[in-house]
Amino acid sequence: MRETVADFEAKLPPDGLKTLGPYPLRQADTVDRFFGNWLTYLGWDNHLMFSAPLCVPLPPDLPFGALVRDVLPELFGEHPEFEQIDWQRAQWFNSNQRFYPDFGKSLEDHGFGHKTLIRFRTPALEGIRREIKSGQQAF
């Protein structure tokens, strides 16, 4: 009789790993390794010049306004549409959950934590979705 997946999984140790000897799991990206900062993932929807959210260490007490004013231009400023962003119309998401930022409150005050994904959409600027003229590159 063939062993089922459930039978195999039932034999595994609680951590799910079957090893020949002790194998301590050590996460390399725990919050204690970033000198008080949180890893924060930042993504600009539909702008595929940046193929994935960018990850930066940020202090929990960083005001959201400073994130927009100081951090985002360093990360996304090379994009040809970046200077056109109307930040008052931008749509913000904590992972997939829509939120409305208070630019004076900190990341921590917004309920974010270590390894949070903050995404933003710019409705008037659609990056790769916009129509392009023949011979031009869309980002």
- What pLDDT does 41 receive? 98
Q: What total of structural domains would you count in the chain? A: 1
Q: Which is more confident, 14 or 31?
A: 31
User: Rounded CA gap, 62 and 85, in Å?
Assistant: 21
Domain assignment present for 4: no
pTM strictly above 0.85: no
Confidence class of residue 126 from pLDDT cuts 50, 70 and 90? confident
Q: Is the pLDDT confidence value at 9 over 80?
A: no
CATH number for 80: 3.10.20.560
Domain assignment present for 75: yes
Within 8 A by CB and 6+ apart from 41, the residues are: 53, 54, 55, 115, 116, 117, 118
Q: Is the pLDDT confidence value at 32 over 60?
A: yes
Domain assignment present for 6: no
Determine the structural domain holding residue 69 and report its residue range.
35-128
Domain assignment present for 117: yes
Q: Is the pLDDT confidence value at 137 over 60?
A: no
